[in-house]
Amino acid sequence: AQNGHREVVQALLERGADKEAVENSSGATALHIAAANGHLGVVQAFLDRGADKEAADKDGWTPLYFAAANGHLEVVQALLDRGADKEATNNDGATPLHSAANYGHLEVVQVLLYCGANKEASDNDGWTPLCVAAERGRLEVVQALLDR
Domains of the chain, residue spans: 1-85, 89-148
Question: Residue 148 — pLDDT band, cuts 50, 70, 90?
Answer: confident
Model confidence at 20: pLDDT above 70: no
Question: Residue 8 — pLDDT band, cuts 50, 70, 90?
Answer: low
Q: For the CA atoms of 71, 74, 80, 84, what is the dihedral angle to 10 degrees?
A: -60
Question: Residue 46 — pLDDT band, cuts 50, 70, 90?
Answer: confident
CATH numeric code, 1-85: 1.25.40.20
93 phi-psi bin (left φ>0, alpha ψ -120 to 50, beta other): left
Model confidence at 37: pLDDT above 80: yes
Question: Residue 123 — pLDDT band, cuts 50, 70, 90?
Answer: very high
Model confidence at 24: pLDDT above 90: no
More confident residue, 148 or 125: 125
Q: What is the mean pLDDT of the chain?
A: 88
Q: Is the pTM for the entire model greater than 0.85?
A: yes
Model confidence at 22: pLDDT above 70: no
Residue type for 51, please? A
Do the first three CATH levels of 1-85 and 89-148 match, i.e. the same topology?
Answer: yes
Question: Residue 28 — pLDDT band, cuts 50, 70, 90?
Answer: confident
Q: Which pLDDT score, from 0 to 100, does residue 1 have?
A: 46
What is the SS3 assignment for 44?
helix
More confident residue, 59 or 41: 59
Cα–Cα distance between 79 and 85 in angstroms, integer? Answer: 9
CATH numeric code, 89-148: 1.25.40.20
